Structure 1
Amino acid sequence: MGSLSLSGKISIVTGATRGIGKAIAIQLGQQGSKVYITGRTLSPQDGVCLPGSLEETARDIHARGGVCVPIQCDHSKDIDIQRLFERITAENDGRLDIFVNNAFSGNDTLLKERGKPFWEQSLNMWDDINEVGLRNNYLCAIYASKLMVPRKNGIIINVSSAGASMYMLNPAYGIGKAGVDRMTADCALELRKHNIAFVSLSPGPVSSDTLMALSKGAENRGENIEEYRKIAKIAESPCCAGECVIALANDPNIMEKTGKVFSTVQLAEEYGIVNKKGNEPEANALETFLNFVQGHIN
């Protein structure tokens, strides 16, 4: 992929305490960007840096020579989002170059309600999945655009999912991700004349905390643990998404991609990205995962 640098760039990654968000933030910091990260858990407890905290992500970025500013933010609260962007504006003379919409708070609900048809799930399912998801993504895109448009420069990246175009997990999840991709297309149309790129990034199955949590409870649910192990074996590292973000942010022809959805597999092939496990993201990994999901629909 060659030598890349984002020195002097200002970026924000929402939901950067774990998984893909954390990996993206670390990659941005390594490439020289000043990275603002958000999450709900900020500080160490009793002097111990908690796993899944903003301080843990910031520590990892600083250890690699990067600059990171952790900001505690509950993305279900509009005032927290407003204050986040006010701080970005004040500290960087209104500059924002890269914004990654990754915050999502529905994982616990998805795990809790797994295996139930939508009509038997909690009536809060929609809000649990799409408040800190589709709604928050749209609100953050508004604030990010207000900073980028006057400078005629920037890129907004929505973290999406294959669930946008086919069944995955449950209807509320799929509807939300489809909305994310529709938002990407429509917002990109209006931002194009201002030279602002807006794209969706759709990772394959990722070796994440959620996948591990599903795996641990498989036997109790009467499921075959070997199926989960197979998915875990082919899952791509969260770092792949980070590499994709770096490549997109450095692409001189990024406006040719604006408004579109790209899988990590597509971008890995185009940009020569290698999975941190030593392989390129596998083109058949998503198909294997989707077949697995389809086999667990009640």
Structure 2
Amino acid sequence: MRKQPLKGKVALVAGATRGAGRGIACMLGEAGAIVYCSGRSTREHPTTTGFYAGRPETIDETAEMVTRSGGAGIPVRTDHLVPEQVEALVARVRREQRRLDVLVNDISEGETHEWKPFWKLDLEKGFRMLRNALHSHIITCRYAAPLMIEGRGGLIVEIGDGDTLDYRATLFYDLVKISVSRLAFAMAEDLLKYGVAAVAITPGYMRTEAMLDHFGVTEANWREGARKDPNFIASETPFFVGRAVAALASDPLVLEKSGGLYSSWGLGREYGFTDIDRSRPDLGRHFDFDAYFKKSSKTGLRWTISRPARVQRRVRTVKRAK
């Protein structure tokens, strides 16, 4: 593979402030891409309300990390729940680059989760989760997709949680994560004839900035966190899912994966990339999700994803429309 297979490509990472979004932006930069890093937290306007209030991460810092990684990072302050701001962001990408090759939606629900039966949940908090993590993704895709369609190719990535359709213990959290994956499935149907792929990807157990703080560790001594949670030993940096996205974006046959739900560890096995510490994290081998969800299902029913026995050969990405 070429050292920078995405050289000359343009990406937009919505929700690039921290966590997976930051890791993805940086690894797209490592692959040579120009990366627009959008979000609400900047040095001039730090986060002061909500779930991430007081956290130091900003899109400015992410953009600088993208550039240091080998790409070109461009921070753009954007509230992705405001259609006019998203429209202006895409218009800027069009004006400055005349193309968009990769769109990543990583804006999260931004709320603490209530692990209660649905009839005891806070409705306003739940609806806010849906607005933050679902409405924002739809708005962003609505305005970004036409630019990608004009180029007759590209990749939309929805970042979710889990590569199964099993119940995630509480209603609103389940709806958010399943719906984000379903977005990729639905958009793939509309986009196929235009050569644009849409996929959903789940990271593994990520050592995000907030998670390292939670365990009272740093990236240098993160293994000590396994004393509190043994599963933390199978964790990965946010850059691992970043390399998963970069691998897909560099794959000329990515359209054959369109509509699918994938994991960082599964894509790591397929494409052979490592985490930035050269490890090969594999949460799927460490933790038996199938056995866990079989045991946790009270009804005994599970929704499953059916994959074709043979890869369907689809239309190839064609040259950009003039």
Bin of the TM-score, shorter chain as denominator length: 0.7 to 0.9
Cα deviation code 1:95-151 (max 9, x no counterpart): 101100111142x432xx4x4443333212322222121121122112221101122
Q: Is the 8 A contact 1:109 1:128 kept in 2?
A: no
Letter in 2 for 1:53: T
How high is the TM-score relative to the length of structure 2? 0.78
Contact 2:156 2:198 survives alignment (8 Å): yes
- 1:290 Cα deviation after fit: 9.5
Write the distance in 2 (CA, Å) between the matches of 1:241 and 1:179.
20
What is the CA distance between 1:43 and its match in structure 2? 1.9
Q: CA deviation at 1:173?
A: 1.5
Q: TM-score, normalised by structure 1?
A: 0.83
Question: C-alpha root-mean-square deviation of aligned residues, in Å?
Answer: 2.8
- Structure-2 separation of matches of 1:248 and 1:286: 24
In structure 2, what is the equivalent of residue 171 of structure 1? 171
Which residues of 2 match residues 246-285 of structure 1 at below 5 A? 246-282=246-282, 283-285=284-286
Q: State how 1:51-66 maps to structure 2 within 5 Å.
A: 51-66=56-71
Task: Say how many residue pairs are matched.
Answer: 279
Matched AA of 1:177: K
Residue 71 of structure 1 aligns with an amino acid whose one-letter code is: V
Say if 1:27 and 1:64 are closer, same or farther in 2 by CA, change over 3 A.
same
The structure where helix makes up a greater share of residues is: 1
Residue in 2 that maps onto 1:102: 106
Aligned-pair identity (%):
30
Corresponding residue SS for 1:275: coil
Distance 2:169 2:228 in 1: 15
Task: Give the secondary structure class of the aligned counterpart of 1:148.
Answer: helix
Cα deviation, residue 215, structure 1 = 4.6
Asked if 1:235 is matched to 2:235, the reply is: yes
Deviation at 1:175, TM superposition (A): 1.2
Preserved CA contact (<8 Å) 1:165 1:174: no
Q: What is the alpha-carbon distance in structure 2 between the residues aligned to residue 288 and residue 186 of structure 1? A: 25
Counterpart position of 1:222: none
Matches of 1:98 and 1:74, distance apart in 2: 19
2:313 corresponds in structure 1 to none
Q: Which residue of 2 aligns with 1:219?
A: none
Q: Partners in 2 of 1:209 and 1:25 — Cα distance?
A: 15
Structure 1 unmatched ranges of 5 or more? 217-224
Task: State whether residues 13 and 106 of structure 2, in contact with CA within 8 Å, keep that contact through their aligned partners in structure 1.
Answer: yes
Give the counterpart letter for 2:112 in structure 1.
T
Say if 1:204 and 1:286, in contact at 8 Å, map to a contact too: no
SS at match of 2:181: helix
- Say which SS state the counterpart of residue 198 (structure 2) adopts: strand
Counterparts of residues 171-210 of structure 1 (less than 5 Å): 171-210=171-210
Q: Which runs of 5+ in 2 are unaligned?
A: 47-54, 217-224, 297-322
Q: For the structure 1 residues 23 and 86, does the alpha-carbon distance in structure 2 shift closer, same or farther, using more than 3 Å as the test?
A: same
- C-alpha displacement at 1:210, in angstroms? 4.5
Note closer, same or farther for the CA distance 1:121–1:227 as it changes in structure 2 (3 Å cut): farther
Q: Residues 29, 278 of structure 1: CA spacing in aligned structure 2 closer, same or farther, 3 A cutoff?
A: closer
